Structure 1
Amino acid sequence: MKSTLDDAPDHEAPTLCANSRGQPWTVSGFRASWRKLRIQLEKQNLIEPGLTLYGLRHTVATILREIGLNDRDLAAALGHETEAMGTALCKRG
């Protein structure tokens, strides 16, 4: 993950990832981009059909926890207001 983030374009967005203009994603912009990518990945059999953004968010939270992020850093990476929100997301199955 570190190498992926290191290779990402520089941006001024107050979030972990930014859109192609270096700005934070809007909800509709992210959904549209995610839909295109999801369809492409499904056609290539790289993901199972029907993967949702919530499911993807849960997976990211779990991976971040497994690589050692503490509660504060996990909450910051996921854009949560409290540490408990990220911790709860990791515990859901």
Structure 2
Amino acid sequence: MEGATGKTDQVRCKSILDQFEPPYLTVSSQQWAMTLLERFQFSHHIGMNDCLIAAIAQHLQLPLYTHNLKDMTPLIGALAVKPYT
């Protein structure tokens, strides 16, 4: 619900997200996220949250639809997809 501009937006986001089962990090995904952070933190200024999100997409081998291709493409390559142009 990051980016919600107020309580109304937050409630609307939550009602949409509640329709899905959230993916959970595995130990191996957390370790892979730490490896990503070590590799890209200073060279690409990528933070731990992006590494954790990328680790889940990588573990599940599912595309991650994001406008943040600058950070996600180095982490997960072609799994990072722009949702629309």
| TM-score, L = length of structure 2 | 0.31
Higher relative contact order (CA 8 A, sep 6+): 2
| TM-score, L = length of structure 1 | 0.29
